[in-house]
């Protein structure tokens, strides 16, 4: 789980520096690690991070919507209300 979280954090840092392709690759790795280790909370957090990094203004790609819906579902199942609301907020922005 820590390896996945580390990849997500590094990916978010790279995204902040404008290195979105590298960031997305690391965050995708984070999602895969979280799934493989059944770290569902980390998976959901990584899916939200991946949606943020890959979102482009004015576009509504199905992949980003799928990331956010999956994350929201995980958060709700876990009772992580605040994080579920954030995923829902991002989803509503993407689908405007």
* pLDDT under 50: residue ranges of the chain: none
Q: Where are the domains of the chain?
A: 2-94
For residue 57, what pLDDT is reported? 66
Check: pTM over 0.85? Answer yes or no: yes
Q: Could you give phi then psi for residue 38, rounded to 5 degrees?
A: 60, 35
Mean pLDDT value across the chain? 92
Tell the CATH topology of 2-94: 1.25.40
Residue among 36, 78, 35, 30 at smallest CA distance from 52: 30
């Amino acid at each position: 789980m820590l390896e996945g979280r580390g990849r997500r954090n590094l990916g978010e840092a790279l995204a902040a520096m404008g290195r979105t392709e590298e960031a997305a690759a690391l965050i995708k790795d984070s999602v895969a690690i979280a799934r493989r280790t059944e770290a569902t909370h980390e998976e959901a957090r990584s899916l939200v991070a991946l949606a943020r990094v890959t979102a482009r203004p004015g576009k509504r790609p199905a992949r980003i919507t799928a990331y956010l819906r999956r994350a929201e579902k995980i958060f709700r199942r876990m009772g992580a209300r605040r994080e579920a609301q954030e995923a829902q907020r991002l989803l509503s922005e993407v689908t405007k």
